[in-house]
Structure 1
Amino acid sequence: MHGDAGCFHCSAALPEGGVIDHLIPISRGGVSTVANMRVVCVPCNASKKDQLMDEWNPLSRLAAPCCQGVPTEVAALALPSQSVQQRSG
């Protein structure tokens, strides 16, 4: 599920391995399957909380140290619209 790709949401390096994010949160009916879990940085995980990908505003996490320098257009447009299949490589 995780290689050296970095955070699923912002591509930040994950020197300590990151944390697991459920694309569909457990609290919203998601399950712990490979298709629903991604490795992310702590700031992105804390920012997303229990939101679905289309509800989450990735701009809210741009102040996090890992995400500084992420182009606004990438954060605003690319990240929330990318599906599991597009990102799972």
Structure 2
Amino acid sequence: MSNQLILSIPAPILTYQEYARLQGLTVQSVASAVFAGKLPVYTPPCSPNENPARVKKYINMIALYAEAAKAANIDMALTSDKQV
């Protein structure tokens, strides 16, 4: 029998503002962590006439959970089953 830990991630991506609020940080400190490569970011696709640098970026919570699991030596499998 294997042990399972089931996590529910309320939102797969968060704005810098929402992530900062949840973590008790300033938006500037979140932006600095992103710039330093310490937080994973999701950048939505943009149209060819948009400047990619100006597209709003989000904190990628799925990647953050995966990084945390790896750091804790936990094997993580993702599923889209909506069993509650």
> TM-score, normalized by length of structure 1?
0.24
